[in-house]
Amino acid sequence: MDKEERKIINQGQEDEMEIYGYNLSRWKLAIVSLGVICTGGFLLLLLYWMPEWRVKATCVRAAIKDCEVVLLRTTDEFKMWFCAKIRILSLETHPVSSPKSMSNKLSNGHAVCLIENPTEDNRHGIRKYSQAESQQIRYFTHHSVKYFWNDTIHNFDFLKGLDEGVSCTSIYEKHSAGLTKGMHAYRKLLYGVNEIAVKVPSVFKLLIKEVLNPFYIFQLFSVILWSTDEYYYYALAIVVMSIVSIVSSLYSIRKQYVMLHDMVATHSTVRVSVCRVNEEIEEIFSTDLVPGDVMVIPLNGTIMPCDAVLINGTCIVNESMLTGESVPVTKTNLPNPSVDVKGIGDELYNPETHKRHTLFCGTTVIQTRFYTGELVKAIVVRTGFSTSKGQLVRSILYPKPTDFKLYRDAYLFLLCLVAVAGIGFIYTIINSILNEVQVGVIIIESLDIITITVPPALPAAMTAGIVYAQRRLKKIGIFCISPQRINICGQLNLVCFDKTGTLTEDGLDLWGIQRVENARFLSPEENVCNEMLVKSQFVACLATCHSLTKIEGVLSGDPLDLKMFEAIGWILEEATEEETALHNRIMPTVVRPPKQLLPESTPAGNQEMELFELPAIYEIGIVRQFPFSSALQRMSVVARVLGDKKMDAYMKGAPEVIASLCKPETVPVDFQNVLEDFTKQGFRVIALAHRKLESKLTWHKVQNISRDAIENNMDFMGLIIMQNKLKQETPAVLEDLHKANIRTVMVTGDNMLTAVSVARDCGMILPQDKVIIAEALPPKDGKVAKINWHYADSLTQCSHPSAIASEAIPVKLVHDSLEDLQMTRYHFAMNGKSFSVILEHFQDLVPKLMLHGTVFARMAPDQKTQLIEALQNVDYFVGMCGDGANDCGALKRAHGGISLSELEASVASPFTSKTPSISCVPNLIREGRAALITSFCVFKFMALYSIIQYFSVTLLYSILSNLGDFQFLFIDLAIILVVVFTMSLNPAWKELVAQRPPSGLISGALLFSVLSQIIICIGFQSLGFFWVKQQPWYEVWHPKSDACNTTGSLLWNSSHLDNETELDEHNIQNYENTTVFFISSFQYLIVAIAFSKGKPFRQPCYKNYFFVFSVIFLYVFILFIMLYPVASVDQVLQIVCVPYQWRVTMLIIVLVNAFVSITVESFFLDMVLWKVVFSRDKQGEYRFSTTQPPQESVDRWGKCCLPWALGRGKKIPKAKYMYLAQELLVDPEWPPKPQTTTEAKGLVKGNGPRSPHHSTAASRSQRRR
């Protein structure tokens, strides 16, 4: 049963989960209740923290179909458990008696099983989700999504809208009429209210959740324990600290909830008009919308309350909320395949592929355009949390845990401390029993050891550094929505940059045009705005082929389109309804040249001729737009010159794509060479094409014609050459990153050669480096997939870009032998298509290409995300810097994503920079490194603090003594808290250095540092403890003891008389206690100074004035009370009087301790150990630097310290990419040789790294031919 009852929901998606069914068991519940009473409620807490245990302890396994509770486990590396209660939705309450009233199916496009026959359809619809015929549907809710039981697939499944499994035809045929009221009500029951509800939890709820954190429970346990031991002051101090910590974290959590709630609530309820089946229009609240409703988009625009697909009219939308790009986008209606002239295969509607026809939730419709008298309509496809905005909000509400080594190591470290505490616990019990101490005292003292070892102030101390870093980042204009990521940014060793708007200026300038006549290129021209060209097809294409629109009288749209349109100086007019009637029924936009450009009309001889002169106004109407699609890399329009019979089709886009859609005889022979010349110089090149359409194409036919019917058989017209200048700061920032051994990668939607050229210009690829272009072709006509390798400098493509066969390329071999190649670094470049093919068919090559891949061109948004994942899979810590537009997924997936968009609405990325410049990247990494090192310092300090105190207490327990209440208080509040909160204030170092901080606490250097300091501190404490007993004046202290010979002094007498009256039952006052207290107090400060390192990641600690002042003040104070005792202070701290020479001896012990500690930490650890290991790595690296990407040395030295110290031989690097780099050094087949081809292996799999080049010989023989 076990096997059969483990099912998977959301298969293949990011939130894939295993699901198990359980039923409540009475007898188990009774046993658990008993256990809770016996453990004083602790078992209840344990079950609260562990949902899996909770369900297994109170329930028995059951079939998922009939269970009462489901247990869910994520299938990712975190394997997190959740549980959910099954609820029942009753359909009987709703008057859907006959299936007739449900002419559409309840879950229209239910992807599980879509049946097109309406009558069968709705019978199936109910049965699919309802148990037998009882009209009851079982469901559960997890992370704001409802999962319903589905009989067809025998599993739970979430209810999909029209976004999956619905064809474009059925959207028009079945859904465009609207819903009946009955059907609407029925769907509302299932889909629920259309809102993205971010409930701001009540303070009480948040408080309970926060207080039940294991750490606070431990603190509560400590406080109760100390109170029983009458340590009231310290207990009170911890309570105050915990309250401050809880209040501040409650405040920030609640603030985030409120911010998110406000952001989401902007559109939550608006009034919308929907069309019902009988053409009537009903006004409802947006919360009542369901998938299938036909919504009328108002003329003056609105904020979309759902995702909807446009079926009538066009809309201009601002999508900055989702993309961070404030350029308005034009959305057109979904093509209707049924009235298509060519009748393409019926494709399924998908919001991603049809995003140019989809209005997304939360985006603002600025204005709509409609054809005379018709409404602009859209069909609701997704509502609530299923919408694009809903998914974004869900990803913020339920983020994936950030798996960072630091936090894992912190828990390991705490476990070590607990183990140490366990030893002390056992020692205390045995020692107390041997000394016949009372049972009550034994219990309290042994538990006390545990509370000493695990410091209660640890969480507050750890977050302090991050909070300070966040404040510093805010000062330099970087906003952060997930502070935990700041530490991770300190580890980044590779940064991906978007090109346009990030590395280069946002806008493009028109450099010139190069027209084609009779299949030959004319010489380049700078000025497009002249009388000669005004009526040419070339200019007509520039004037019409764009998505510009007028908003409040100002032209707006894609910056590229704007630049082109401004270059020709034409005028765009969006026709009013009266004007459209003049041409025809549908004519939204007209463009015409300014009067001064038109050639003067020749005066006619007779009046009859003058009548024909009237249409001398030259106007072009844009009849239909096929918007730019990044998948197709082109856009086209159908236009008509006023008075012409035939219409024209114009197209512009990526030159390779446009050339492939033109008649071959119209494309110049030297097209590839000319294009390559321009792209190599870093110009952005766009090609134009045109054709006259057949006269039989009427207005109506054009409105429904498919894109492919228009975009073929064109005449090639020429090229537009745009210049994209590098931003001023780009080369300098990239150089800084390279100096710091941080790899840089370019990910862009632009042309490959342009991208390579920009990469060379900005220093990402050095002049002497080689660029290898990997061009992968998918399997075709029974042939396997293959990769052709070209060296960029020798790349001359043939006329049809996708058909580059190795023999077709003229050979200009870069190297006769590959010996010289070993001495030059190489980079791989590839486009999105090749990247997808390689991911699919060449899995074994992916890691090798990630190691040297520098330019990724023509990448679609999801490919950018896949690239980030591929880099993370070889253990890179990846940063991503983009302008937010199409980088959302990648920004979220990267370890540190920085959006350069000014809109803080771009909630996708953890960091947002106010200034749109990449100089924020090194700043963020510097601050991240400083925060990380601060975390290490604090952690090391807190570990030492607990060990020093633990050892002090253990020593004193051996003579049945302890530290006094006020001694504890002085150490914990005056010393520890002050030091911890000020030592975190060091700002980041001024520049990025080549070393990287270790990524985890458990690295050789850090362990060595902590262990050496522990040994030193224990040594000096023991020395003081045992040496004081050897003193001639030493005796077991009693109230009458007088080691200082102070009997004569009245002052001392009086204080001692007071002491006698208060009996010291805890035996706190004695010589050992006083000695240990003074030595340990100094040790805390010594360790704080030793650990407060500055360079190379933070400013030196003497620049941290608060810290310096606090430490000096504490030193002076402790020195003063040690050398010149003040009776009242001694009385409060329960210190006894010791002879002056012993005070001096203690001072000497402390000074020697300080000298040894600081020498070991600063000299031995930083100089000797570090230098030896680092230089050893350096040599290895220098030897390999020919082909290795810049590696980070510090992590190596950190990780190899211990093996080195233990004298082990060769080590294997932990990071996969470093291991791979070492392997590739000895691989004679890598990098691939020029002009070779690698084929995907169908049969042989285990051939390792050498498998790719089996076709080298073949390709050579082909070249000879």
Cα distance between residue 703 and residue 623, in whole Å: 8
| Bridge partners of residue 921, in order along the sequence | none
Say which amino acid occupies 1172: V
Cα distance between residue 125 and residue 111, in whole Å: 12
965 is catalytic: no
Cα distance between residue 554 and residue 78, in whole Å: 51
Cα distance between residue 946 and residue 55, in whole Å: 37
CA dihedral 247, 251, 254, 259 (to 10 degrees): 180
Length of the chain: 1265
The answer, yes or no, to whether the previous bond of 1231 is cis (omega within 30 of 0) is: yes
Q: 810 vs 754, 789, 831, CA distance in Å?
A: 22, 13, 22
Q: 664 vs 636, 668, 1037, CA distance in Å?
A: 19, 8, 106
Answer whether 634's CB lies under 8 Å from 654's CB: yes
Six-digit token pair at 12? Answer: 């293949």
Six-digit token pair at 630? Answer: 């990044």
**Closest to 496 measured CA to CA, from 322, 691, 744:** 744
Q: 716 vs 22, 95, 185, 655, 686, CA distance in Å?
A: 67, 62, 55, 10, 12
Answer whether 55's CB lies under 8 Å from 86's CB: no
Mark out the alpha helices in 152-293 (DSSP H runs). 168-173, 181-191, 203-211, 214-228, 232-265
For the chain, counts of helices (H) and of strands (E): 43, 41
Cα distance between residue 362 and residue 975, in whole Å: 52
* Interhelix angle 1170-1184/1193-1205, nearest 10 degrees: 120
For 812-840, the DSSP string reads --S-SSSHHHHHS-EEEEEEHHHHHHHHH
Give the DSSP H or E segment for 891.
helix 888-893
Answer whether 857's CB lies under 8 Å from 755's CB: yes
Assign 25 to helix, strand or coil.
coil
CA dihedral 653, 319, 749, 489 (to 10 degrees): 170
For 665-730, the DSSP string reads GGS-TTHHHHHHHHHHTTEEEEEEEEEEPPTT--HHHHHH--HHHHSSSBEEEEEEEEE-PBPTTH
**Closest to 128 measured CA to CA, from 151, 153, 147, 106:** 151
Six-digit token pair at 53? Answer: 């245990």
* Active-site pick, 157, 340, 409, 498: 498
Answer whether 749's CB lies under 8 Å from 859's CB: yes
Assign 217 to helix, strand or coil.
helix
CA 87 to chain centre: 34
User: Strand ranges (DSSP E) for 518-633?
Assistant: 520-521, 549-551, 554-556, 571-574, 589-592, 620-629
Count other Cβ atoms within 10 Å, centred on residue 34: 11
Radius of gyration of the chain (CA): 37
What phi and psi values does residue 380 have, to the nearest 5 degrees?
A: -65, 125
Active-site residues: which are they? 498
